């Protein structure tokens, strides 16, 4: 269970990740894809923060920038009090073991020429002085933890099913006893029963080892299951952040409302009368976000002010943050143009 009395394990503040757009033979810099644009959140030790949002909104990029797999354009990322965003190579190498990532695509992230034992022990080779025998014992221990049969140790990735491959990725991520794991769509390609197995496994490991997760997913029903709090992302920014039950019972941001209403029911009868908020209007490009609120081109409740002024990300109820003019208190927005998101979570 998250311990709110300690300082948060992960503190992300004003994180920006821009990819340059170049043109012509001289690769002249003509603009930026603002994949992540001023994102701030905290994650407490032992907590799971779910990160949801539509395809291309910047979830994977956020994850990668936090772990410095990309060089962030701006912002601060502190893990266990240590600044990651500006750490040098040596510091970073020392930090690596405490933070791990389970990647979106298990197929592509496992080396097809290495055995399972080889893949799981790779981080041990790199970061520990364990003997060969100790390493093998640790590999077996990890395989037990994720429910993989030890006799599979010398097999190759293509001989496993999708669910088993995902477990190999999780075992490798656990090898160095990390405190914080970013899971990027860890279950998207699995059938529902195996999805449930993986989610139950992650929860069990969290209880046993006190792990902290950032769980990236577009599957709102699974996020509802695993997350303690949920952050909803749209076009590079977080538009709503709140405890799980609050988000699902009463979503505040019009985008969150539309997102939840669009989840199909596994029941053709219910499907017929499900009330869906259909989003129309252009999906803007992160290279050219609209003026005012990012969501103004598609928002069913759009007001004139939304085309002019960027809403602030602020706390509207204890623990509930939303970035929307509907909930903005008058005095903060009046005459305030494109207020920077200084409010911290």
Ligand X SMILES: Nc1ncnc2c1ncn2[C@@H]1O[C@H](COP(=O)(O)OP(=O)(O)OP(=O)(O)O)[C@@H](O)[C@H]1O
Q: By CB under 8 A, which span of 2-10, 73-81, 103-111, 205-213 interacts with other proteins?
A: 103-111
Least distance from ligand X to the Cβ atom of residue 108, Å: 13
Residue closer to Mg ion by CB (options 190, 296) is 190
Burial of 61 from C-beta contacts in 10 A (0-12 / 13-18 / 19+):
buried
Among 248, 315, 316, 343, binds other proteins (CB under 8 A): 248
Among 259, 322, 324, 345, binds other proteins (CB under 8 A): 259
Does residue 277 contact residue 300 with C-beta atoms inside 8 Å?
A: yes
- Contact status: 59 vs ligand X (CB under 6 A): yes
Does residue 184 contact residue 101 with C-beta atoms inside 8 Å?
A: yes
- Contact status: 162 vs ligand X (CB under 6 A): yes
199 binds, among other proteins, ligand X, Mg ion, none (CB under 5 to 8 A by kind): other proteins
Least distance from ligand X to the Cβ atom of residue 57, Å: 4
d(CA 159, CA 311): 51
| Of 271, 283, 234, residue with least CA distance to 256 | 234
- Contact status: 183 vs ligand X (CB under 6 A): no
Site for other proteins in 18-47 (CB under 8 A): 19, 21
| Cα R_g (the chain), whole angstroms | 21
Residue closer to other proteins by CB (options 41, 103) is 103
Count interface residues toward ligand X (CB under 6 A): 15
Kindly state the tokens that stand for 4.
Answer: 């709110």
Q: By CB under 8 A, which span of 1-9, 79-87, 281-289, 336-344 interacts with other proteins?
A: 281-289
Kindly state the tokens that stand for 274.
Answer: 């499900």
Dihedral angle sign, alpha carbons of residues 111, 116, 117, 122: positive
Please give the residue ranges that form the binding site for Mg ion (CB under 5 A): 60
- Contact status: 19 vs ligand X (CB under 6 A): yes
- Contact status: 218 vs ligand X (CB under 6 A): yes
d(CA 141, CA 135): 10
Question: Which residues are at the interface with ligand X (CB under 6 A)?
Answer: 19, 33, 35, 55-61, 161-162, 191, 218, 286
Question: Which residues are at the interface with other proteins (CB under 8 A)?
Answer: 19, 21, 52-56, 60, 104-105, 107-108, 159, 161-163, 185, 188-197, 199-200, 218, 220-222, 224-225, 245, 248, 258-260, 262-271, 276, 278-279, 282-285, 287-288
């Amino acid at each position: 269970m998250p311990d709110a009395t300690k300082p948060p394990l992960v503190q992300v503040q004003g994180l920006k990740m821009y990819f340059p757009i170049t043109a012509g033979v001289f690769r002249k810099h003509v603009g930026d894809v603002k994949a992540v644009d001023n994102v701030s959140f905290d994650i407490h030790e032992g907590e799971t923060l779910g990160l949801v949002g539509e395809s291309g909104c910047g979830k994977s990029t956020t994850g990668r920038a936090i772990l410095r797999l990309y060089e962030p354009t701006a912002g601060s990322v502190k893990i266990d009090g240590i600044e990651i965003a500006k750490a040098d190579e040596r510091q970073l190498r020392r930090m690596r073991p405490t933070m791990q990532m389970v990647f979106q695509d298990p197929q592509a992230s496992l080396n097809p020429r290495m055995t399972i034992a080889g893949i799981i022990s790779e981080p041990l080779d790199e970061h520990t002085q364990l003997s060969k025998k100790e390493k093998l014992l640790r590999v077996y221990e990890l395989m037990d933890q994720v429910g993989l049969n030890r006799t599979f140790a010398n097999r190759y990735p293509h001989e496993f099913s999708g669910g088993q491959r995902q477990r190999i990725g999780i075992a490798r991520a656990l090898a160095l006893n990390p405190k914080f794991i970013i899971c990027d769509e860890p279950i998207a390609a699995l059938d529902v029963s195996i999805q449930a197995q993986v989610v139950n496994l992650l929860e069990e490991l969290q209880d046993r080892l006190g792990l902290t997760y950032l769980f990236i997913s577009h599957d709102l029903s699974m996020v509802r299951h695993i997350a303690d709090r949920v952050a909803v992302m749209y076009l590079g920014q977080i538009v709503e952040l709140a405890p799980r039950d609050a988000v699902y019972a009463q979503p505040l941001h019009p985008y969150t409302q539309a997102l939840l209403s669009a989840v199909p029911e596994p029941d053709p009868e219910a499907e017929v009368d499900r009330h869906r908020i259909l989003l129309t209007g252009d999906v803007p490009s992160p290279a050219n976000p609209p003026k005012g609120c990012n969501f103004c081109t598609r928002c069913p409740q759009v007001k004139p002010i939304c085309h002019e002024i960027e809403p602030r990300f602020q706390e509207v109820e204890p623990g509930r943050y939303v970035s929307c003019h509907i909930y903005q208190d008058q005095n903060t927005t009046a005459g305030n143009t494109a207020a920077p998101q200084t409010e911290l979570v």
